[in-house]
């Protein structure tokens, strides 16, 4: 019997588990790092225990401290959430050895599916179709290069112990293989402590289809249908939906039966996801869907399955961990409507999707429109220590079009400042005609990246709102008042109709009144106005930007760290000639590698760091001069 649950995680997933646990009448325990002392998940729990410094390897990844916290607070079960220690078999065994209940699959199942190469061999032996590739033990660069050449390009390099898109590279030609392999191995070692890789043939029109499975200790295994997670960037999911568009009954039967077979092959208990890659060049065909991997935990995108099945997957996890049978038989699990989830990240799409950190001085999410799962709040901080996802928005409607429209509207109503987000980018993805038609694959975003990532110009409504905010005084006198807005005043002149506003070095004529206001308007201490429109945040000023006379407004050639991080690679030397955009250094931050490019064509004048250096935000890493 479970009476008290400790969640060995943070953020939105901790809050998510606590909501169900408390609804079931269970006591809750949070663990937190020093960086999360004031986080919502800490206040939400009945008890909370500090387990270490901000860095995850000194807190959320230290299993002994988490188990000690459970024992000290009287918790009798541990839920790992996702990420961190959720798929660590040794931690699961230690939990059980301490006399606690592990709310997850058996350690043997975690091990069986934890290494991609071994899992694929196991699945092939169980009759589950697998993607062609190389799974060998010989990991020398020469052997891997030879196997890639044999498979044919493009080829996919994947970390054996990987997940979440980390340690994964697509290679288009043989000459690029060695560099991609080195980068992939380095990222894999940093993320998983294991630099081994496998190779797969790269499917040219891939769809990412996954199936939610659930098993109990009585030997029953069911599926809760499929999800389509094809909208990805750098192999990380952006928008997920259920059911998959264009999925025929025959294809659904093939993929769900394969998923159940995969779970049965490892004696699976609890929630899991079997991931498949489908060749969608001619639609979703039953014989063109192959096993990729199994995630032995709850997935980030589990809410879309909950929406279309009406099942609380966390409640099922708790009940199954307590020894109860599955609450429903396969024939009782039915699909209702369509659901979509968008991952809201603290990142700057127009700036190469670099993570954005800092205080959330303004944070408003459309909770009246859609389900919102989040672990941050206004006044909180997005730190550089953890994943940059700050919320999930989940829409459910009778039809796919209805769910897409609802989610696009919700993304358009997101208001966050000064931290940057991908809300506008998400709205543009959802509004794209090809997405609306269901014409999606994993290359969807990359093929349209320039249009989807670029921040559009502010709308007339946004400009009007900014102008009104700058001209209406503290008593609320409107700009149409004859004594208001006296800029350029002269007797008998027509009323002032607009004012000049600047977004960076772009100037716009903003009308001085509007009946339509897009959202909140903020005034900064620097005399700027912040408006929110279509998911974008615009910071406008009535003053033109001051040019850097010494450099013609082109910058000083310094390449600075956009966030705290670790230098993991340097691709140039002093004296090298480079072109605009060429990768100079690679910075590891917020669990991902970020290549920093040259701001203009020129020569590397100096390098201020070495590989392995930890750097602070704003520190100059390299400097270029024009040639």
Residues annotated as catalytic are 297
Rounded to the nearest 5 percent, the helix, strand and coil shares of the chain are 30, 30, 40
Nearest to 498 by CA among 484, 512, 508: 512
The Cα–Cα gap between 430 and 410 comes to: 11
Decide if 187 contacts 170 (C-beta within 8 A).
no
The Cα–Cα gap between 421 and 417 comes to: 9
Residues 6+ apart with CB under 8 A from 422: 238, 344, 345, 347, 349, 353
Q: Is 297 helix (H, G, I), strand (E, B) or coil?
A: coil
Decide if 592 contacts 562 (C-beta within 8 A).
no
The Cα–Cα gap between 17 and 589 comes to: 27
The Cα–Cα gap between 21 and 378 comes to: 25
Per-residue buried b or exposed e for 238-265, using 16+ beta carbons within 10 Å of the residue's own CB: bbbbbbbbebeeebbebbbebbbbbbeb
The Cα–Cα gap between 450 and 437 comes to: 20
Which pair of tokens denotes residue 240?
A: 């997920």
The Cα–Cα gap between 625 and 564 comes to: 25
The Cα–Cα gap between 243 and 592 comes to: 30
As a whole number of Å, the CA-based R_g of the chain is 26
């Amino acid at each position: 019997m479970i009476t008290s649950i400790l969640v060995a995680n943070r953020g939105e997933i901790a809050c998510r588990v606590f909501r169900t646990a408390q609804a079931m009448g269970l006591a809750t325990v949070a663990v937190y790092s020093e960086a999360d002392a004031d986080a919502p998940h800490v206040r939400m729990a009945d008890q909370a225990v500090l387990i270490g410094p901000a860095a995850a390897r000194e807190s959320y990844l230290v299993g002994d401290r988490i188990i000690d916290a459970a024992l000290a607070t009287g918790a009798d079960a541990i839920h790992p959430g996702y990420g961190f220690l959720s798929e660590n078999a040794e931690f699961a065994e230690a939990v059980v050895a301490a006399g606690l209940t592990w709310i997850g699959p058996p350690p043997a199942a975690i091990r069986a599916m934890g290494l991609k190469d071994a899992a694929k061999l196991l699945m092939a032996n169980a009759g589950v179709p697998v993607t062609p590739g190389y799974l060998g033990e010989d990991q020398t660069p020469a052997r891997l290069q030879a196997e890639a050449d044999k498979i044919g390009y493009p080829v996919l390099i994947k970390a054996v112990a990987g997940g979440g898109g980390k340690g994964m590279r697509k290679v288009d030609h043989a000459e690029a293989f060695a560099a991609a392999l080195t980068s992939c191995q380095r990222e894999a070692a940093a993320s998983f402590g294991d630099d081994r890789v496998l190779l797969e043939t790269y499917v040219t029109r891939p769809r990412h289809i996954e199936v939610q499975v659930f098993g109990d200790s009585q030997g029953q295994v069911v599926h809760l249908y499929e999800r389509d997670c094809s909208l990805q960037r750098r192999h990380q999911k952006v928008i997920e939906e259920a059911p998959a568009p264009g999925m025929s009954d025959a294809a659904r039967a093939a993929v769900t039966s394969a998923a159940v077979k995969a779970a049965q092959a490892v004696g699976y208990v609890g929630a899991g996801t079997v991931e498949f890659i489908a060749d969608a060049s001619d639609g979703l065909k039953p014989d063109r869907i192959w096993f990729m991997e199994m995630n032995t935990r709850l997935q980030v995108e589990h809410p879309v399955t909950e929406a279309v099945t009406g099942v609380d997957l966390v409640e099922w996890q708790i009940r199954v961990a307590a020894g109860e049978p599955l609450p429903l038989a396969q024939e009782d699990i039915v699909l209702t409507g369509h659901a979509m989830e968008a991952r809201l990240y603290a990142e700057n799409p127009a700036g190469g999707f670099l993570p954005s950190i800092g205080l959330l001085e303004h944070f408003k999410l459309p909770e009246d429109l859609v389900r919102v799962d989040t672990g941050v709040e206004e006044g909180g901080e997005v730190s550089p220590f953890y994943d940059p996802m700050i919320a999930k928005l989940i829409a459910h409607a009778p039809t796919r079009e209805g769910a897409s429209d609802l989610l696009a509207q919700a993304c358009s109503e997101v208001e966050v400042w000064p931290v940057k987000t991908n809300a506008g980018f998400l709205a543009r993805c959802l509004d794209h005609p090809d997405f609306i038609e269901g014409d999606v694959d994993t290359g969807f975003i990359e093929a349209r990246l320039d249009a989807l990532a670029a921040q559009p110009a502010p709308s007339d409504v946004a400009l009007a709102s900014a102008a009104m905010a700058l001209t209406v005084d503290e008593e609320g006198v409107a700009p149409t008042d004859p004594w208001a807005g006296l800029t350029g005043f002269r007797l008998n002149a027509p009323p002032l109709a607009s004012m000049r506003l600047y977004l960076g070095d772009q100037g716009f004529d903003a009308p001085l009144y509007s009946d339509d206001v897009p959202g909140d308007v903020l005034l900064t201490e620097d005399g700027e106005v912040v408006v929110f429109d279509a998911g974008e945040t615009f910071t406008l000023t009535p003053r033109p930007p001051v040019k850097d006379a010494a450099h013609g407004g082109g910058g000083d050639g310094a390449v600075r760290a956009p966030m705290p991080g670790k230098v993991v690679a340097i691709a140039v030397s002093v004296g090298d000639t480079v072109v605009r955009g060429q990768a100079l250094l690679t910075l590891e931050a917020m669990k991902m590698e970020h290549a920093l490019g040259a701001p203009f064509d020129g020569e590397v004048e100096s390098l201020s760091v070495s590989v392995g250096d930890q750097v602070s935000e704003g520190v100059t890493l390299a400097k270029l001069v024009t040639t």
